[in-house]
Structure 1
Amino acid sequence: MQRFVVALLAAVDAAIAAAVGLALILAPATLLWVFGFGAQADWSALWAATTSVWQLGHLVPLDVTLPPIYLTASGIDEAAASFSLSLAPLALAALTAGLAARMGVRASRSEAWGSGLIGGIVVFTALAAGIALTGANPLAAAPTWLAIALPALVFAIPATLAAVVTEWREADVGLIARGRDGLEGRIGESGLAAVSETTRGVGIVVTGFVGAGAALLTVALVARGPQVVALSQAGNADVLGASVIALGQLAYLPTLVVWAASFIAGPGFAVGAATTVAPAGTQVGVLPPVPLLGVIPESTTSWLLLLALVPVALGALAGWMVRSRLVADHPRAIADGWGLRAVIAGSIAVLSGGAAALLAQLAGGSIGPGALAQVGPVPGAVGLAVGVEVLIGAAILLALPSGRERGDDADADEWGVWEPEPSGESETPTTDAAADTAPVDDAPRVEPPEPPEPPESPEPPESPDQTDTQPLFPHPRRGGGSPLD
């Protein structure tokens, strides 16, 4: 019964995750149709357009084919009538991934996290299949298996990672807890702590990497605000059109954050074939008339190469955090284990570089024919740059000698190895000294007073009956709790 309830709640969470993404697309599309064309909404066309945008937001590449009547009216060359659209608005994928991670944490804090994961993933996959089958769009087609598999992975991977991490950190029983205990038996408690702290260090670096990209994008928007406004005014869009453009740019805002982070790392990004936007130099041609692209500078200065120190600082911060926690909990392991320090630094660098390469891969793609088929950062270059820079910072902090290695007595207590030397004289009187001070037989003997009896400790008050406060499903974790929390 409990497994069924957990699976049912997870299925509801999965359905909400899919519905929220669709609603954020369908609502403005309906308003655009009604107020822009002055007619009742054509729900079949609206649904097809909504499903195409939803699939693109979940990393599904679309094969766009423009109709001949549109080519004639707009004067577009027939060679550009068909192209691939794969640059994803990562805001939709981030929303789904966040809701999936929330579901994974809730499932893990129950006694049936496996059932919760299965129920949620199966329901979201079924919804993705229904969306792909009912929203076929001849103008923006996608392979059916990709339209089902990629959204399902966007939901399943964060949900599984969140559930496994929560089980690893909190559970005392279960499959993940047994695996954790078995790993601890193989590599020891200090080795297990090193694994956990390495994961924490990678999280610090990746979070700081994305945060630095967001900060740089904010500065660029403020500094080049007039260019952005000029591009917006050049479009001559009415209020409704400007609103649609603004919503589209908001959907692509996380994508631009990754571009800015790649710029900080050094390799930069491209906005078309044979173009480069990097601190070492910028070479761009004619940009698409998108207002948000006005933040791209026409030229750069060599001083911007100092931005590469940001990943180095993030690696140093991660190394310092890991070293501090290991020093506090396992001083001997971190003091004596030069090999352990090297492994930790290398692991943080490799995993951080891999995460940066993955973000770069998700933030790249195609937005049109010809030169616009290559847009975004190069994953391999970004991952390598971030890995090397983080390795430098983490290695510096983890390689610093400890007080024990320097031979400083002041820092010896930091490692928990300082012990006071025994004194040559004892403070308690010896037997001979006691005999010398004993009273003579002629002196009256004074009996010492008897020590008073210790007072009786009061009995603890009776604890109230707590049977009514027990959870419906007692959980084996620390602190108990209900699986439905």
Structure 2
Amino acid sequence: MSQLTDLAPSFSPRRQAQGARSAAVVTALASGFLAAGLGLGLLAVLVLLLWITSPYPDSGPGGALHVVADLWLLAHGADLVRTGTRTGTPAPVGLTPLLLTVVPVFLLHRGARDALTPQDGRPQLAPLATGAWVACGYLAVAAGVTGYALAGPLHAAPLSTAVVVPLTVAAATAAGVWSAAGTPAVLLPRRWHPAAADARAGAAPRAEAAARAGAAGVVALLGGGALLCAVALVAHAAVAQEHFLSLSTTVSGRLGVFLLALALLPNAAMWAAAYGLGPGFAVGAGSTVTPLAAADYPVQPVFPLLAAVPGEGPGGPLTWAAAAVPVAAGIVVGAFAGRAAAPVAGEREPSWRWWPTVGVTALAALVCGAGTAAVAWLAGGPLGTETLADFGPVWWQAGGAAAVWTAVVGVPVALVVRAVRLRGAAPLPAAVPVSVAAPRGRVRARRWTWGRQGWPLWEPRSRLADEWEEEPGAD
């Protein structure tokens, strides 16, 4: 008994640590459950409201709840299958309303960030572990919703749901972890983390700057695309109004059309951005819509947003002006990268030299291309078979064009922004000659350098290798 009594205190700290870890895991799982529940609840309110106010409901509450589950999975990028077609052939539905996608992505991002926010008395896990447990809680709800949505005239495609939903959850959770931790290095294995003493000169600040500049480029592309879409809708306002009024004669029906058009507005912005990038988009199998030409339109569905599609025929100066969208995105990427490379107010030394600035801008262009490709992949997809099998941009073409445009425009802009900000920085100390001890008969070449750091005026520090000159008259 005395031996057990003596050993009991040694287990107390371990049990306390295990209890704290269990509490942190439960908190992270609860954040994932809550994020999924809020997204489902919002969709349920909208769908049930339309079902209640509809004068001719096609199904009971069970059918409305099936629609909620289908829309929730579609918002994560999963494909649906429609079996009630005229020909009897199942028709895929893969065009995701991006405004619906914003809801789960925002909730997951917020859940992961809140789970990592320090609070008094609440234990904390490592950032990557916290994000993993938040994702597990969310995916547990997604598994139940998927099982419920596998039946019915409009049901989820099992393979697409099993692949795409976890990828969307992982990406949104990783963004939340990064936002809370402050650097993308937390998403890498611990052995890859830069040392704390070399954090400023390491890879983490540059990776963070590239990620932020690339994300800003994607936002600029979507903003420019939204502007193009708005201009086109205003130019074809009469046709858009005619389509809107012809789709339904009841208040609830027109409200549903309005909500669907609102949910598809980010898709239209991405289509317009792809149009400005050059590859364009499709409005049916075999069609092409680019600034150079638009041809081979099939019979299009009646929908207000499709009124903004330009007519068939060759392009002109008015359509070529859409190239201002990727140019603006490149300027934004270059401005973000250049500001990160230049010193802030009151400093005298740049964050890094010109060649890492070029590398960071190029990496930001790749991030912008990858983000654009992901959004373009979500923004397009099939709405049926045959002529309805292809809607939206081709993701790899839009992503590649975005990367090239932002790199070509962004690199010069970043260098110019860096140079302008360097001129406004604090003045450097006067140049002084520096010499060092050398072996007998040889002297170190004298160079004009900056202050105590000994940075050469015209060469990087990597070239401060021992370059000795023979002393005149030495043996």
State which of 321, 327, 347 in structure 1 corresponds to 2:336.
Answer: 321
State which of 227, 248, 254 in structure 2 corresponds to 1:242.
Answer: 254
Alignment of 1:73-472 (within 5 A): 78=87, 81-110=89-118, 111-112=124-125, 113-114=127-128, 116-144=130-158, 146-169=160-183, 179-182=192-195, 185=198, 189=201, 192-283=204-295, 284-299=297-312, 300-328=315-343, 337-400=353-416, 414=425, 416-419=427-430
Counterpart-to-counterpart distance in 1, 2:135 and 2:418: 48
Alpha-carbon offset, residue 289 of structure 1: 1.0
SS at match of 2:302: coil
- With structure 1 as the length reference, what TM-score do the two structures score? 0.73
The answer to whether structure 1 residue 19 and structure 2 residue 37 are counterparts is yes
Counterpart-to-counterpart distance in 1, 2:129 and 2:231: 46
Counterpart-to-counterpart distance in 1, 2:174 and 2:200: 26
Alpha-carbon offset, residue 99 of structure 1: 0.9
- With structure 2 as the length reference, what TM-score do the two structures score? 0.75
Higher relative contact order (CA 8 A, sep 6+): 1
Alpha-carbon offset, residue 401 of structure 1: 10
Q: Which amino acid aligns with 2:134?
A: G
2:70 matched residue in structure 1: 52
SS at match of 1:156: helix
1:225-258 superposed Cα distances (whole Å, 9 cap, x missing partner)? 2111011222343212111222222222222221
SS at match of 2:92: strand
SS at match of 1:123: helix
Q: Which amino acid aligns with 1:342?
A: V
1:408 matched residue in structure 2: none
1:212-234 superposed Cα distances (whole Å, 9 cap, x missing partner)? 12222222333322111011222
Distance change in 2, residues 1:7/1:237 (3 Å)? farther
Distance change in 2, residues 1:22/1:174 (3 Å)? closer
Structure with the greater alpha carbon radius of gyration: 1
Counterpart-to-counterpart distance in 1, 2:213 and 2:317: 30
Alpha-carbon offset, residue 163 of structure 1: 0.6
Q: Which amino acid aligns with 2:168?
A: V
Counterpart-to-counterpart distance in 1, 2:407 and 2:241: 41
Alpha-carbon offset, residue 371 of structure 1: 1.3
Q: Work out whether residues 316 and 396 of structure 1, in 8 Å CA contact, stay in contact via their aligned partners in 2.
A: no
Q: Which amino acid aligns with 2:369?
A: G
Counterpart-to-counterpart distance in 1, 2:66 and 2:205: 50
1:441-464 superposed Cα distances (whole Å, 9 cap, x missing partner)? xxxxxxxxxxxxxxxxxxxxxxxx
Counterpart-to-counterpart distance in 2, 1:310 and 1:40: 44
1:354-397 superposed Cα distances (whole Å, 9 cap, x missing partner)? 21112111111101221110111011221222111111222212
1:382-441 superposed Cα distances (whole Å, 9 cap, x missing partner)? 12221111112222124449879xxxxxx778475332889xxxxxxxxxxxxxxxxxxx
Q: Which amino acid aligns with 1:95?
A: V
1:2-36 superposed Cα distances (whole Å, 9 cap, x missing partner)? 44444444333333332333333333433444443
Q: Which amino acid aligns with 1:101?
A: H
Counterpart-to-counterpart distance in 2, 1:415 and 1:302: 46
Q: Which amino acid aligns with 2:407?
A: L
State which of 10, 32, 36 in structure 1 corresponds to 2:54.
Answer: 36
Distance change in 2, residues 1:252/1:13 (3 Å)? farther
Counterpart-to-counterpart distance in 2, 1:134 and 1:397: 52
Provide the aligned C-alpha RMSD in A.
3.5
Query: Identity of aligned pairs, percent?
Result: 24
SS at match of 1:328: coil
Counterpart-to-counterpart distance in 1, 2:39 and 2:418: 51
Q: Work out whether residues 331 and 409 of structure 2, in 8 Å CA contact, stay in contact via their aligned partners in 1.
A: yes
Q: Which amino acid aligns with 2:298?
A: G
Q: Work out whether residues 63 and 83 of structure 1, in 8 Å CA contact, stay in contact via their aligned partners in 2.
A: yes
Distance change in 2, residues 1:117/1:350 (3 Å)? closer
Distance change in 2, residues 1:4/1:175 (3 Å)? farther
1:286-309 superposed Cα distances (whole Å, 9 cap, x missing partner)? 210112211222155333323323
